[in-house]
Chains A and B, each alone.
Chain A
Amino acid sequence: MLVALALTVWAIYCTYDGLGPFLVYAQRPLIAGSVAGLITGNPLLGLLIGATLELAALGVYTYGGATIPDYQTGAIVGTALAAGAAGGTSAQVAVGIGVGLPAAILLSALDPVGKMVTTALVHRADAYAADGNARGLARIHWISLVPWVAVRAIPTFLAALAASGGLVKDITASIPAGFVQGMTLAGSLLPAVGFALLLGMMELSRYWYLLLIGFVGFAYLKLPVLGIALVGVAVAMLFVTLKRDEPAIAVPEPAEETAIDPRLTKQDLRRVFRRYFWSSQISWNYERMQALGFAYSMEPVLRRLYPEKADYVAGLQRHLQFFNTSVLIGGPLILGSSVALEEAGTPKSAASTKVALMGPLAGIGDTVVFALYNSIVFTMGASWALQGNWLGPAFAAVMVLVPYALVRRWQFGFAYREGKRLAGHLAAGALARVAQGATVLGFVVLGGFIPSIVKVVTTLTYRQTTTVQGQPVTQSVAIQDRLDELLPFLLPVLVTAGVYLLTAKARLRPVWVIGIVVVAGVVLGWLGWFAPSAPAKS
């Protein structure tokens, strides 16, 4: 019971972290699962299950409200049930993945429920804004977190409670060894789904050759993942530097600079940023998306700038209009420029700049944040976690905590100082260059990650009869040895290519592809034809 409550509290925090501050990206399965392992007293299980689900979840990101599998709950529930399961570690991990994966997929059906309740709440916020009631607005903003949390925390609590009884142990006591073997193989094939989805999001036809750099680095030069990432950084820098020689994009002239008498205090600015940092999208809803969070963040500035109630109300209503962008890269820029433009007495251009910037910055920010930086950091973390190394989740957490906190603070200050000139800076192409550099880095790293993380070898052998000194001699030859002579890591490459064809060319839904990979893994592993790594030579 105590464990179930603790897991529920953790699930609540994970949900909040992924909507508000993104401190450690706790909603990612690597972090959610690892901590769940600590809570249940089985840290290793949490690491292994979280890391496996993390790799399966790569490339699955929510864009503007599309619903995706709830891997956070899957990782927590999977770890909780695994901890209560019978058998050794590998049997428990098999249970954890076997439960966590379908749970993540099924529970995604609840996600729209939470978002719909929040949509109803935003209409209450409209009424409060019309009254100039800042307290009411703030209350609705924070209450909106409740439906988001409920659809994740309640299933977590129920499943964790069920796991704490002896029932799970009884049910799992008779798991056949073959199934464990099969599930283990399936777990090591699942990263191929994540990699294939990522490749599907990137411009493969344009940059495919960059995959070779990473592949050669790992397969032939035996570089560790960190080494491959460093090579990737170097190649990305090279690309971006060479790109500079292209003709510059024409930048629109900034409007006449008017002398602004600063009416905002440092404290006002801090307050705005703090509100955005801690709660940017806790009231995310289908209709207005992040608008309420934006209005709530702007409120201290509006209060300072508009002593007349009518102006203040108009300001709240202005910032309660539809808003959605990338929270980590983009959002703070828009916030800073909105503050500057409101202070400059140009509320109209504050509103239009917001609208003009949110789409493009979402496109650029999503690329850099979701598809590239996070993928690299969490893949490295998961690959270490799969070896039972706590450095994995710790590394990932630190690598998101520090840079994202700093980069958000910097964006806000930069945009505020630049005011009207901000748009010109963005138009000069700096952000697009960052996005392109990140794409290049992503390809190099993926080339090395695919063979190092998708682990599969064949255990099949064939009999070969040769004539030795006139005598026929029959010897068994491992097919894997022959494959290795052909190309190292041929099977992982083929599996990833096959999954890529299923997702990108045959256009199967990711959920179906995951199903196919799991079934194929369980069957082929149970039969003993394939395994995650070669059996020890006797």
Chain B
Amino acid sequence: MAGAHVRIDNRLIHGQVTVAWTRRLGVRRLLVCNDDVAADELQQVLLPQAARGLPTAVLSVAAALTVPLDGDVMIIAKDPGDAFRLVEGGLRPEVVNVGNVAPRPGTAYTMVTRSIAVTADEAGAYRKLAAGVPLVTQLMPQDKPADFVPLLDRKGL
């Protein structure tokens, strides 16, 4: 399995994804990959409606790994842990893009970029992920991708 595009974005499907990224990557379907979201009936029905016509599946990590994931799918992982489990399960994306990770209630986080909050645990997950695939951050297609691990280093994470 190679070629799928993976973005870590805990806002899941929103304007940046549907308007900018799907067009830029030329993908034909979206896959939201997170165990909690896959178990949430409401998000199951609402997320596909937000995808502006692109076929959208909402699956758990385990289920995602059982379907063929090729170059025409964009995978949206909710957190670095999901992305790591996908890679561990055999997915080989060309690059993993950390887009938006908003701070979550009750966590001690550091803003690594303007739109990415990282906790100490997550920093570990990002580093494990970066050992297997190139890890960058690129908010919008017109932005320059930046290597993610050096950004963690700079914030002492």
B114 touches A359 (CB 8 A): no
| A-contact bits for B96-139, CB 8 A (1 contact / 0 none) | 00001011110000010011010000000000000000000001
* B114 touching A203, Cβ below 8 Å: no
In the complex, how many residues of chain B place their beta carbon closer than 8 angstroms to a beta carbon of chain A? 37
The reply to whether A360 and B24 contact each other, CB–CB distance below 8 Å, is: no
- Interface contact A507-B24, CB-CB below 8 Å: yes
Is the CB–CB distance between A250 and B45 below 8 Å? Answer: yes
Return chain A residues, CB-CB under 8 Å to B42: 252, 353, 356, 423, 427
- Per the 8 Å Cβ criterion, residues 189-248 of A in contact with B are 200-201, 203, 206
Segment of A89-97, A429-437, A478-486, A490-498 engaged in the interface with chain B:
A429-437
Across the interface, which residues of B come within 8 angstroms of A435, CB to CB? 49, 52
14 contacts between A and B (CB under 8 A): A61-B15, A64-B14, A200-B23, A251-B45, A287-B103, A287-B114, A317-B105, A322-B103, A359-B13, A360-B46, A363-B14, A427-B46, A507-B24, A507-B141
Q: Which among A112, A361, A366 is the interface contact of B19 at CB below 8 angstroms?
A: A366
Contact A252 B45 (CB under 8 A): yes
**A431:B19 contact, CB within 8 angstroms:** no
Does B100 contact A252, Cβ atoms closer than 8 Å?
Answer: no
Assess whether B18 is interfacial by the CB under 8 Å rule: yes
Set of chain B residues within 8 Å of A322, measured between Cβ atoms: 102-104
Please, how many angstroms separate the alpha-carbon atoms of A64 and B10 in the complex?
13
A65 CB contact (under 8 Å) in B17, B51, B115: B115
Docked CA distance A409–B81 (Å): 40
Q: State whether A363 touches B115 (Cβ < 8 A).
A: no
Q: Does A28 interact with chain B (Cβ within 8 Å)?
A: no
**What residues on A are CB-neighbors of B24 within 8 Å?**
507
Evaluate contact between A359 and B16: CB separation under 8 angstroms.
Answer: no
Chain A 326-361 against B: per-residue CB contact (8 Å), 1 yes, 0 no? 000000000000000000000000010100111111
Option from A366, A429, A436, A510 in Cβ contact (under 8 Å) with B15: A366
Task: Specify which chain B residues have a CB less than 8 angstroms from the CB of A66 in the assembled complex.
Answer: 16, 139-140
Q: Tell me which of A61, A203, A353, A363 has the highest count of chain B C-beta atoms within 10 A of its own C-beta.
A: A363
Pair B50/A360 contact, Cβ less than 8 Å: yes
B30 → chain A, closest Cβ, in Å? 11
Please indicate the chain A residues that have their CB under 8 angstroms from the CB of B100 in the complex: 64
B87 at the interface (CB under 8 A from A): no
- Contact bitstring A351-378, B, C-beta under 8 A = 1, else 0: 1010011111111101100110000000
Asked if A249 is an interface residue, CB under 8 A from chain B, the answer is yes
Given A360-B50, A435-B52, A63:B142 Cβ within 8 A: no
CB of A374 to closest CB in B, whole Å: 14
Partner of A363, one of B43, B51, B141: B51
Q: Which residue of A lies closest to B103 (CB)?
A: A322
Which residue of the partner chain A has the closest CB to B19? A201
Once A426-B46, A432-B49, A507-B141 are accepted as A-B contacts, the answer to whether A201 and B23 lie under 8 Å apart by CB is yes
| Cβ contact within 8 Å between A287 and B117 | yes
Which A residues are in CB contact (< 8 Å) with B139? 66
Chain B residue with Cβ nearest A511: B142
Closest chain B residue, CB of each to CB of A353: B42
Minimum CB–CB distance from A136 to chain B (whole Å) comes to 20
The answer to whether A65 touches B114 (Cβ under 8 A) is yes
Beyond A201-B23, A359-B14, is A206–B49 a contact (Cβ under 8 Å)?
A: no
Contacts of A61 in B (CB 8 A): 15
CB contacts (< 8 Å) of A359 on chain B: these are 11-14, 47, 50
Residue from the list A358, A363, A510 in contact with B52, Cβ < 8 A: A363
User: Which of B12, B19, B23, B47 lies at the interface centre, i.e. has the most chain A CB atoms within 10 A of its CB?
Assistant: B19
Distance in Å from the Cβ of B11 to the closest Cβ of chain A? 5
Instruction: Across the interface, name the chain B residue whose C-beta is closest to A317.
Output: B105
Chain B: minimal CB distance from A347 (Å):
12
- What is the CB-to-nearest-CB distance from A295 to chain B, in angstroms, rounded to a whole number? 12
Question: Residues of A contacting B41 with CB < 8 Å?
Answer: 252
Known contacts A112-B114, A286-B115, A359-B47; 6 additional CB pairs below 8 A are A64-B11, A251-B45, A252-B42, A324-B11, A363-B52, A364-B50
What residues on A are CB-neighbors of B117 within 8 Å? 287
